[in-house]
Structure 1
């Protein structure tokens, strides 16, 4: 086995093993709709957030019962209407529990309806934001607003970008609670909670915000490469907890409920992130608060809380606190603008992964290319050209080394003949030859190895970044974040029936046009060099392009497009550079040789049978 083929085999084998293990261990499962129970959130109790963190169950809303659900469904509502949002606020609890995104539909088909981020109790998959005050000294649960409080509208008719609304509730204890809600032109709500003590005694209470989700999201991907669940920032430290990990949280709050609690000194936020959507509680910058991730096993509620410090009010005093709520799409530019406005490290709410030092700049470049070109498919191709240009000095050195190795092949064969069975002598003489000719046999596989983290980083970007969702290229390729929609089953769209569903056995058998081009590009790249003389090596190399074709065929079509482009550029670079060094690759001759070798092998097999 010559060193060039050995290096290529090792690099290709490593790539194959990494992707095979990943593909087999973490396949995207089929989505299953599960009916969830409809209990309500559990409110925290007041406490000194500067002390050792800890919470306990407080007032439990009774919207888990059928009558209470009916009551919640019949409660008056206040409309939400902006250029990008529609929905409503339930006056029962004053909760923001109905929110749709006007700019985005469930599928590329406009008739599929707008994406719904928040849903009210009784809808089947309740998900809402709830605000209130946890009672402290001098107050009971009935003296503070909770999940079932019936608020009244004090001002405003519709919550819009230029028209805030104010809700009011008068407590039996003589307290006047107000909640003013405002929203900007994108996805950020501003919630101002105030309390006025019109009673005769001193009291204390702690304002809080809750995000409650009843059951897991219906469209959860459950894929290793994607984080879905709690995402939180606490004084510069990012914390992520998957939905599947929440039942194993350390702190037991009560029977059936577990929590993770941390104290934020100055800057932080907490919420839930899905594939493309997110809701986040954001206290004001510089504010201390208690950050809680909670799971109620008995009622199957996922919950995050932001509990602010307890406030004391003497008779006649008033207090107010302002927080924010993000509820919408994980658009990079929008989130970056909120970070610029003071939300600490908000851009890290996007799941950049382990290779964040690669995924962030790759996405930045792809984003700006898309702005310039206006088409995501061509932007991916342009990105690949730029990445290959950056790696060109290393590739040039590698291909020059490979060309020199080819020139040295006859002399290496003579060394092997002279050394005979003395492997140590052969290795010594080969090393001396490499040194004399200034050839590094290891440099041939280095660019291939460097492409592995770049490949995974780009896959992460294409899979996670919102900007790839429903991004069209041309013709049938109208969503580059999904697998190739074409298929041999319908002659790549020429016949009047649909291609097999992605992920099915038929989809693997009747391969799409992009995976087919991927296999061809890998095959041609391989034929730049003659097939190894060793029969086992030759067989491995012969099968490798087509194995990769079927393995990668179910990946996002944007990623397959990158891989095809990368292979094509690599083939061109290697061909031209090796010719410039005096070695002329005979691609078509190598293809013919491979067929002749197969014919000879078939004849030999027939002879053996006779």
Structure 2
């Protein structure tokens, strides 16, 4: 077997490893896209339930079950532009919350996302606030508090009151803004005969782990900001092994899903102790407590904290961080090392979307903008590539002349490069620049809720999910769901075609094996890219089309370059 055949066999083995090995590791280290939002059936898009959604949210039996639990306790309603729900006066607890702007699926009649549920209902998830009982007798856990109003609205806080038998009066005033932030003011007035130590606490308790997978690029589960740093550890398995504790001044702790967050935010100027711990039946709790302060008879003390429960909207988290002093709440979105590039891309893409009203068009405009900024570099790249095409006949002659002397061939090729002033590596810079930009767009599509369930055209109902339309089952006309690795959608096929035509304009490789490799490469990449978000594929297709146009224009301006390559 000669060297060319060996090289081709090696490439074929590598290509097979990429095609069949990539799906085995992508879920853990590099998730490619959100779960499909739709399925093509009989040529039409049908909404699919999402893994993180409540599968019975629209079923009367499930609603009755939850409603039964809600009716067991007295409550006050929560009504804001973003949320609906209620506060349990027994405890008290914030344990009933839905996000009315976000739906479980892309169906028009889909139920809204339910974030919090009371204990005893499926997927219990709630927050509570109180005081340590060390030297103080706070109201019992099942005590029913008195509310000052029946409804909590922005600008209309509600005060909950209760008392004990030793002369202390307790108040919890809860306010809510037009976003997802609750402000909790815990007051203890001491009407007793002796000083009492007062130490407020807050907790978030959830049943089960996050339904969104925790991966190398996207963190879900317990999260905190303490001692000035964002900590994406421990994860649920670490908490199972034992409590995870820290002490800090400023910061927060809670649980993050891919798009949703609950965060306890103590007074940012006060020292507090935080911890994550596991309970019976796969329950997990994040809680904090501040140091006790002595309250003399006739005196009162108020300790203020905040509680975030809602969607991880980029602008909103930045507002709470920059204007309301919540330390690094914006780090709840796991941007990673390239946040300095990813956030500007997000803000520009979001601005384009607000201008044109379609995220797919916004991605195309983003691509055009990036290519315009890179135009001078790209022109040098294409000029270098054209020069390489121009010297191909001479390189082919050298290859024929020195085919039995590899060392002499390399020396003559380098001399040719020097004589013709050609740098074969000059075309690499734009590609290297594109890599972090491509990864930044990947993170934006995967992480930001603003991209969730955003349609493009026709059958594409979610740019953050793979293309659901595949010719393998005749575009859904055959009742058959093809295996994941061969379910190549229309958009990935267009991506492969665009790469094929772009590769054809590149300089031809010197040997036949390299030619075969470059001929197969677009179709290998088509399979590799097929599971990725459609938005990424739109970006890449647009980039390829612009590159083809630029190369065509260059050859039109310098026809000698193209003619030289065909001699």
Query: Which band: TM-score by shorter chain?
Result: 0.7 to 0.9
Aligned to 1:528: 505
Q: Tell me by how many angstroms 1:246 deviates.
A: 3.1
Residue 293 of structure 2, aligned match among 311, 335, 352:
311
Q: Tell me by how many angstroms 1:23 deviates.
A: 4.1
Aligned to 1:261: 245
CA 1:562–1:104 in structure 2 vs 1: closer, same or farther (change >3 Å)? same
Question: What are the residue-to-residue correspondences of 1:400-479 with 2, within 5 Å?
Answer: 400-417=383-400, 419=402, 421-479=404-462
**Distance between the aligned counterparts of 2:487 and 2:225, measured in 1?**
46
Q: Is the 8 A contact 2:384 2:422 kept in 1?
A: yes
5+ residue gaps in structure 2?
1-9, 36-49, 55-66
CA 1:421–1:17 in structure 2 vs 1: closer, same or farther (change >3 Å)? same
**Distance between the aligned counterparts of 2:387 and 2:17, measured in 1?**
29
CA 1:448–1:326 in structure 2 vs 1: closer, same or farther (change >3 Å)? same
Aligned to 1:144: 138
Aligned to 2:58: none
Aligned to 1:161: 154
> Which TM-score applies when normalising by structure 1?
0.78
Aligned to 2:62: none
5+ residue gaps in structure 1?
1-9, 36-68, 250-255, 591-610
Q: Tell me by how many angstroms 1:475 deviates.
A: 2.0
Aligned to 2:61: none
CA 1:416–1:518 in structure 2 vs 1: closer, same or farther (change >3 Å)? closer
**Distance between the aligned counterparts of 2:160 and 2:497, measured in 1?**
64
CA 1:257–1:180 in structure 2 vs 1: closer, same or farther (change >3 Å)? farther
CA 1:466–1:583 in structure 2 vs 1: closer, same or farther (change >3 Å)? farther
Aligned to 1:605: none
Q: Is the 8 A contact 1:15 1:452 kept in 2?
A: no
Aligned to 1:179: 172
Q: Is the 8 A contact 1:87 1:98 kept in 2?
A: yes
Q: Tell me by how many angstroms 1:414 deviates.
A: 3.9
> Which TM-score applies when normalising by structure 2?
0.84
Q: Tell me by how many angstroms 1:230 deviates.
A: 2.1
Aligned to 1:26: 26
Aligned to 2:127: 129
Aligned to 2:366: 383
Residues 1:197 and 2:190 are matched in the alignment: yes
How many residue pairs were aligned? 524
Q: Tell me, what secondary structure is at the counterpart of 2:159?
A: strand
**Distance between the aligned counterparts of 1:174 and 1:78, measured in 2?**
26
Q: Is the 8 A contact 1:486 1:512 kept in 2?
A: yes
Aligned to 2:514: 537
Give the number of the structure with larger relative contact order, counting CA–CA contacts within 8 Å between residues 6 or more apart: 2
**Distance between the aligned counterparts of 1:578 and 1:446, measured in 2?**
21
Aligned to 2:223: 231
Q: Tell me by how many angstroms 1:421 deviates.
A: 4.0
Q: Deviations over 1:85-114 (max 9, x none)?
A: 110111121110110011111112132211
**Distance between the aligned counterparts of 2:22 and 2:435, measured in 1?**
13
CA 1:161–1:17 in structure 2 vs 1: closer, same or farther (change >3 Å)? farther
**Distance between the aligned counterparts of 2:381 and 2:14, measured in 1?**
18
**Distance between the aligned counterparts of 1:161 and 1:373, measured in 2?**
31
Q: Tell me, what secondary structure is at the counterpart of 1:406?
A: helix
**Distance between the aligned counterparts of 1:453 and 1:108, measured in 2?**
31
Aligned to 1:59: none
Aligned to 1:552: 529
Q: Is the 8 A contact 2:386 2:507 kept in 1?
A: no
**Distance between the aligned counterparts of 2:387 and 2:283, measured in 1?**
65
Q: Is the 8 A contact 1:72 1:92 kept in 2?
A: no
Aligned to 1:246: 236
Aligned to 1:4: none
Q: Tell me, what secondary structure is at the counterpart of 2:146?
A: strand
Q: Deviations over 1:217-236 (max 9, x none)?
A: 3x323444321112322243
